[in-house]
Amino acid sequence: MTFEPGPPVALPHSLCSVTLLMPDPGTAADFYTEAWGLSAVERDGTAAWLRGTGTEHHILHLAHGERNALGKIAFALRTRREVDDAARALAALDVPVVREPGPLDGAGGGYGLWFVDPEGRLVELSVELEAVPYRDIRGREAVPRKLAHAVLNTVDIDATTGFYTRVLGMRVSDWSEHQMSFLRCNSDHHVIAFNQAPWTSLNHVAYELPSIDHFMRGIGKLKRAGIAPMWGPGRHGPGDNTFSYFTDPAGLVCEYTSEVAQIDEDAWLCRVWPRTPELSDQWGTAGPPPASVREHMAGIPDPGYFGRAGDR
Ligand SMILES: [Fe+2]
């Protein structure tokens, strides 16, 4: 799917939440609430909506699926008019809008639309989601503040990067050779990144800790609970963020991160980073990613929204 140059259909200002599908969301919800540091806002059977300390109603939605998959990725717009305009512009580009603008009936409500990207990912654009009070954490408890980013495996990094820059006006902050592209929609270095891979799937979801001290305390808390990082801690080159990767009970990869680079739109220069050990692991503490974490990051082929029609 290629598009003529033109204005974006919308300009999201933040990544709100991801929905992960898995055979046993209840067990994963226990992990994310008891070990990872999130709190349940709502539970419905085995499905759960989980928050961090920020005002997003939820940042992670866990729901049942026959197989592990990315259920949805949600971005915030500012006004209903932007949602309505986006629907018309998406239709004009022949991008399938599978939920027309209107009230959203999921937890947190709001007003929005759903569309499907060329690789089958379901994307929500929304406004007016119910906010929750900032959760004041006393002391240095390691609780994620918000989603930092989602990394998505793609079979065509150029086409997929092109879609998100053209359609959602995202800017490419950096490339890691021709293997990964890092895209931003606000001052954070990236809110999504694409990784060239043999099939489409979720690579991992990253959660931002408020400081490097919280980040290290989070790793320690998990370690005391018998949960060791699969890779990390370390500090990436592109984005300059700290990283430590774990797997949840479903086998999906989750990351603690902090100190992601902040972008000055007027001064930033996009670079292509060589994939050298010194740049991939600035501190030299993590080493290269072990085969086990790469296997979990590859996951299984995701049939996408239309391919899951039988599951719904
Ligand atoms: Fe990451």
SS (H, E, C) 261-296: CECCCCCCCCEEECCCHHHHCCCCCCCCCCHHHHHH
Q: Looking at the structure, do residues 116 and 227 belong to the same domain, yes or no?
A: no
Classify residue 203: in a domain, yes or no: yes
In-domain check, residue 303:
no
Same domain, 152 and 286: yes
Establish if 7 belongs to a structural domain.
no
d(CA 143, CA 290): 26
205 CA to middle of ligand 1, Å? 7
Does residue 42 share a domain with residue 120? yes
Asked if pLDDT for residue 294 goes beyond 70, the answer is: yes
In a domain, 84, yes or no: yes
Residue 134 has pLDDT above 70, yes or no: yes
Ligand 1 centroid distance, CA of 254 (Å): 8
Rg of the chain taking only CA atoms, in angstroms = 18
Q: What is the mean pLDDT of residues 110-121?
A: 98
**Ligand 1 centre distance from Cα of residue 92 (Å):** 33
Q: Are 115 and 167 in the same domain?
A: no
Mean of the per-residue pLDDT values for the chain?
96
Q: What is the pLDDT of residue 311?
A: 55
- Alpha carbons 65 and 123: distance in angstroms, whole number: 17
- Are residues 154 and 107 part of one domain? no
C-alpha span between 312 and 308 (Å, rounded): 7
What spacing in Å lies between the alpha carbon of 178 and ligand 1's midpoint?
Answer: 17
Answer whether residue 151 is part of any domain.
Answer: yes
For residue 1, what pLDDT band results from cuts at 50, 70 and 90? low
Query: Is there a single domain that holds both residue 106 and residue 41?
Result: yes
Please indicate, yes or no, whether residues 94 and 195 belong to a single structural domain of this protein. no
Domain that holds residue 54: 14-127
The reply to whether 114 and 258 lie within a common domain is no
Structure tokens that stand for 176 in this block: 């890691």
Does pLDDT of 159 surpass 90?
yes
181 and 109 fall within a common domain: no
Cα 142 to ligand 1 centre (Å): 18
Percentage of residues in the chain with pLDDT exceeding 70?
99
Residues 170 and 254 in one domain: yes
- For residue 3, is it within any domain? no
- The rounded Å distance from CA 193 to ligand 1 centre is 8
> Domain total for the chain?
2
- Residue 208's domain is classified under what CATH number? 3.10.180.10
Same domain? 175 vs 290: yes
- Per-position b or e across 265-304, b if 16+ CB within 10 A of its CB: eeebeeeebeeeeeebbeeeebeebeeebeebbbbebbbb
CA of residue 68 relative to chain centroid, distance:
15
Mean pLDDT on 85-96: 98
Give the model confidence (pLDDT) of 37-81 as tens digits. Answer: 999 999 999 999 999 999 999 999 999 999 999 999 999 999 999
For residues 159 and 240, the answer to whether their CB atoms sit within 8 Å is no
Distances (CA, A) of 42 to 46, 62, 123, 127: 10, 11, 21, 20
Whether residue 4 lies inside any domain: the answer is no
Is the residue at 190 inside a domain? yes
